[in-house]
C-alpha cells in the first residue's frame, strides 16, 4: 500500500481489531509500539517485508488470541522476548530475516519461553544472529511442530536428542550454524520428515543412520567433519529421495550402483570426499536423474550410461501461462525448505502457478493469470521466484485487490506443493495510478472514446444553454460585461486588458499549491483519501449539472448560485453530487427588467446540508 513513516501508538486504541497486515511496506520504519499489546482480540499480525527496527516489544506476549505472528524480513534486533511463550494459541511463528540476537528463550520458573508453545506448528527463526545452544528443553513429545527452521544463525553446541521426540516434524533446517558433536541417533524416529538440512556446521562422530525415513525427499549433510566411513548402505533405501547433498563429509570407498536406481533421485552432490573405484550408474538409473557431482574424489573408472537421459540446461527463465499488457502485482517468493534442486524442471513451477490461481479463485479477485520466473538459489539456500499476478478486465489492480492478494500470500491462504515447503513474500511497491508508455489496450481506448463522446455531447448542450441564457439576459448584464465596449477594429486588435489579471511564476505556483501537493490532484479531495476514477468524476459533474439545472429552471424563483467550486459540491455515501453553500446566491436576473436585483434569500452563510439540492 506504499505506506511510510512510523506506526503510531494510537494503534493500541483499536481494541476490537482482529487482523493487522502491514506487509510489504518497506518505508514503514521505527520501532513497533508497545501499545500493540492492547489489541487483545488480535488473531493475526503480519509485518512481513517492512522496515521496522529496534526490539520486539515484550507486550506482544499479551495477545492471547494470536494465531499468526509474522515479523519476517524487517530489522528487529535484540533478543526474542520470553513473553512470546505466553501465546498458547499460536499456530505460526516467523521471525526470519531480522537481526535478532541472544539465545533461544525457554521457560524458567514463572518466566515463559518458546518451549511452552505446544500448539505452534511453525518455528521459523532463520537468518538472524541467534547464539548459544539449542536448549534441550525446547523440544518435547507434547509438541505439534512440523517446521523447525533455525538455519543461518550463530548457534553452537550439540543438537539436542529431544528433537527426536517431536514425531510430527516434516522439515528440520539447522544448516549454516556452528553446531558440533554427534547427530543424535534417535533423529531417525522422525518418520514424517521430508527435509533434513544439517550442512555447514562442525558436526563430528559417525554419520547418523536414517533407515526408516521413507518420506525423506531432501538430505543435506555436507561440509561437516564426520568420521571417515564407507558409503552408507541405508542411503539406497530412501525411496522418496530426490536430492542428496553429501559434499565434504569424509565418505570413502565405492558408490553402490543401486543408489542411482532410486526412483525419484534427481540431484547427487558428493564432491570433495574420498570415494574411489568404478562409478557404475547401471542401466536401471532413475529417469528423473539430472545431475551428479563427484569432483575431487578418486574415481578411477566410469561405466557410461546406456539409454541416456535428457539433461535440461537451465536458462534462468521459467515459462509462464499467459501474460497480458497490464500492470501486475509483483514480488519475490522465497521458499525455505526445498525437496528438490532441479531448477530446470518447469513442471514444478507450473504446479505452483496452478496452486496460486486456486488460491485467488475463491476470493473472486479479477486475476487473469500468474507468472513465475527467474528461479535462483541465494546464499542462504532459499529458492527465489519472481512472481507476477496479472489483473483481469482492467490494466491494474485497485487497492482492495492488492490488499486481498497480499493478505492471501502473507497469511498462509496459499499452500504451495509439498516439494516447496514454507515460504514468505517480499512484494514490490505497487503504483496504483501511474501511467505507462506501453501500448494502451483496446478496452482502454474504447473507454476513452465513449467517455470523450459523452463529454462532447455535454459540452454542446452546455453551449446551447449558455447561448440561450446570454440572449435573455444581455441587456441586464451589459453593464457588467468587461467586453461590452470592446471593438476588435479599434486600437491594435489585442485582447482587452483585464483588471487583476497577472502572470504567476513557477515559484509562486509551487508556494500556492503547497509544493504541488497530491491533496490538490484532480480526482481526490484535500482531506479525503478516496480517489475517484474517471467515471466517478464524470458522475459528480453530471450530478452537479442536474443541481444547477434545477436551480436555474425549476426553482421558484430561479436561483443563481454564484459560488460554484469543488468545496461547495458535497458527496453522499453513494458519491452522488449535491450543490451546497447558498450564502452568496441571488435570484435569477429577470430579462424583462433593465436592472439587477440585490435581494438575497437567506443570510450570507452556508446553509445546512439538509437543504442542498
pLDDT at position 417 is 66
pLDDT at position 147 is 95
Paired with 46 in beta bridges are: 21, 70
Catalytic member of 563, 572, 581, 590: 563
> Residue 227 catalytic?
no
CA Rg, the chain, in Å? 35
334 backbone dihedrals φ, ψ, rounded to 5°: -105, 125
Give tens-digit pLDDT for 60-109.
999 999 999 999 999 999 999 999 999 999 999 999 999 999 999 999 99
Task: Check if CATH label 3.40.640.10 holds for domain 530-592.
Answer: no
pLDDT at position 214 is 92
- Picking from 393, 395, 391, 418, the residue whose alpha carbon sits closest to that of residue 405 is 391
Please state, in angstroms and rounded to a whole number, the distance separating the CA atoms of residues 541 and 505: 30
Please state, in angstroms and rounded to a whole number, the distance separating the CA atoms of residues 5 and 57: 18
Please state, in angstroms and rounded to a whole number, the distance separating the CA atoms of residues 202 and 336: 22
Please give the model's pTM, rounded to 2 decimal places. 0.58
Give me the residues of the chain with pLDDT under 50, please. Answer: 306, 308-324, 433-456, 475-484, 486, 488-496, 498, 592-613
pLDDT at position 304 is 55
Q: How many CB atoms lie within 10 A of CB 263?
A: 12
Please state, in angstroms and rounded to a whole number, the distance separating the CA atoms of residues 305 and 307: 6
CB 190, CB 211: distance < 8 Å: no
pLDDT at position 156 is 97
Report domain 329-427's class: alpha beta
- Picking from 50, 60, 98, the residue whose alpha carbon sits closest to that of residue 82 is 60
DSSP 306-370: SS--------S----S---SSB-EEEEEEES--S---TT-HHHHHHHHHHHHHHHGGGT--EEEE
pLDDT at position 274 is 92
Give ∠ CA 583-585-590 in degrees, rounded to 5.
160
Domains in the chain: boundaries: 329-427, 530-592
Length of the chain: 613
pLDDT at position 17 is 94
Give tens-digit pLDDT for 492-519.
444 445 455 567 777 777 787 778 776 6
Amino acid at each position: 500500500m506504499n505506506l511510510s513513516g512510523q506506526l503510531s501508538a494510537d494503534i493500541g486504541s483499536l481494541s476490537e481489531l482482529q487482523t493487522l497486515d502491514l506487509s510489504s511496506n518497506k518505508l514503514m520504519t521505527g520501532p513497533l509500539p508497545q501499545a500493540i499489546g492492547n489489541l487483545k482480540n488480535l488473531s493475526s499480525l503480519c509485518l512481513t517485508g517492512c522496515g521496522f527496527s529496534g526490539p520486539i516489544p515484550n507486550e506482544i506476549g499479551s495477545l492471547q488470541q494470536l494465531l499468526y505472528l509474522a515479523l519476517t524480513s524487517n530489522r528487529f534486533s535484540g533478543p526474542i522476548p520470553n513473553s512470546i511463550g505466553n501465546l498458547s494459541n499460536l499456530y505460526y511463528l516467523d521471525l526470519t530475516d531480522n537481526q535478532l540476537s541472544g539465545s533461544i528463550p525457554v521457560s524458567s520458573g514463572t518466566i515463559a519461553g518458546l518451549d511452552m508453545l505446544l500448539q505452534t506448528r511453525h518455528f521459523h527463526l532463520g537468518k538472524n544472529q541467534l547464539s548459544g545452544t539449542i536448549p534441550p528443553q525446547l523440544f518435547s513429545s507434547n509438541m505439534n511442530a512440523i517446521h523447525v527452521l533455525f538455519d543461518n544463525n550463530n548457534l553452537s553446541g550439540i543438537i539436542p536428542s529431544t528433537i527426536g521426540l517431536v514425531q510430527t516434524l516434516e522439515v528440520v533446517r539447522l544448516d549454516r550454524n556452528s553446531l558440533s558433536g554427534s547427530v543424535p541417533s534417535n533423529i531417525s524416529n522422525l518418520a514424517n520428515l521430508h527435509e533434513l538440512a544439517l550442512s555447514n556446521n562442525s558436526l563430528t562422530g559417525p554419520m547418523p543412520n536414517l533407515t526408516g525415513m521413507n518420506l525423506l525427499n531432501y538430505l543435506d549433510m555436507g561440509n561437516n567433519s564426520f568420521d571417515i566411513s564407507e558409503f552408507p548402505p541405508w542411503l539406497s533405501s530412501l525411496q522418496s529421495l530426490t536430492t542428496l547433498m553429501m559434499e565434504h563429509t569424509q565418505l570413502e570407498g565405492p558408490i553402490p550402483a543401486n543408489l542411482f536406481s532410486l526412483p525419484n533421485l534427481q540431484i547427487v552432490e558428493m564432491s570433495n570426499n574420498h570415494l574411489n573405484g568404478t562409478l557404475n550408474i547401471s542401466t536401471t538409473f532413475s529417469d528423473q536423474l539430472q545431475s551428479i557431482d563427484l569432483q575431487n574424489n578418486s574415481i578411477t573408472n566410469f561405466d557410461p550410461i546406456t539409454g541416456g537421459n535428457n539433461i535440461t540446461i537451465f536458462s534462468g527463465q521459467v515459462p509462464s501461462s499467459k501474460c497480458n499488457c497490464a500492470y501486475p502485482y509483483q514480488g519475490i517468493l522465497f521458499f525455505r525448505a526445498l525437496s528438490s534442486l532441479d531448477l530446470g524442471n518447469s513442471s514444478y513451477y507450473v504446479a505452483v502457478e496452478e496452486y496460486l490461481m486456486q488460491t485467488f479463485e475463491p476470493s473472486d479477485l479479477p486475476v487473469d493469470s500468474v507468472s513465475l520466473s527467474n528461479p535462483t538459489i541465494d546464499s542462504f539456500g532459499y529458492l527465489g521466484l519472481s512472481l507476477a499476478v496479472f489483473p483481469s478486465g482492467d490494466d491494474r489492480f485497485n487497492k482492495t485487490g492488492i490488499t486481498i492478494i497480499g493478505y492471501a500470500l502473507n497469511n498462509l491462504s496459499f499452500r504451495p506443493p509439498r516439494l516447496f515447503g514454507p515460504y514468505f513474500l517480499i512484494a514490490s511497491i505497487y503504483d496504483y495510478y501511474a501511467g505507462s508508455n506501453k501500448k494502451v489496450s483496446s478496452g482502454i481506448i474504447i473507454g476513452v472514446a465513449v467517455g470523450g463522446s459523452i463529454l462532447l455531447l455535454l459540452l454542446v448542450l452546455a453551449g446551447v444553454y449558455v447561448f440561450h441564457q446570454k440572449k435573455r439576459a444581455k441587456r441586464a448584464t451589459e453593464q457588467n460585461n468587461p467586453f461590452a465596449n470592446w471593438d476588435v477594429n479599434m486600437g491594435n486588435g489585442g485582447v482587452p486588458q483585464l483588471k487583476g489579471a497577472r502572470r504567476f511564476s513557477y515559484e509562486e505556483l509551487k508556494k500556492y499549491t503547497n509544493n504541488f501537493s497530491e491533496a490538490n490532484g484532480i480526482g481526490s479531495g484535500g482531506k479525503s483519501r478516496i480517489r475517484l476514477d474517471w467515471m466517478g468524476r464524470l458522475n459528480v459533474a453530471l450530478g452537479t449539472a442536474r443541481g444547477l439545472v434545477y436551480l436555474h429552471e425549476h426553482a421558484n424563483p430561479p436561483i443563481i448560485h454564484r459560488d460554484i467550486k469543488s468545496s461547495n459540491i458535497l458527496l453522499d455515501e453513494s458519491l452522488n453530487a449535491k450543490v451546497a453553500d447558498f450564502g452568496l446566491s441571488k435570484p435569477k436576473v429577470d430579462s424583462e427588467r433593465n436592472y439587477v436585483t440585490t435581494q438575497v434569500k437567506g443570510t450570507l452563510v452556508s446553509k445546512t446540508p439538509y437543504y442542498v439540492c
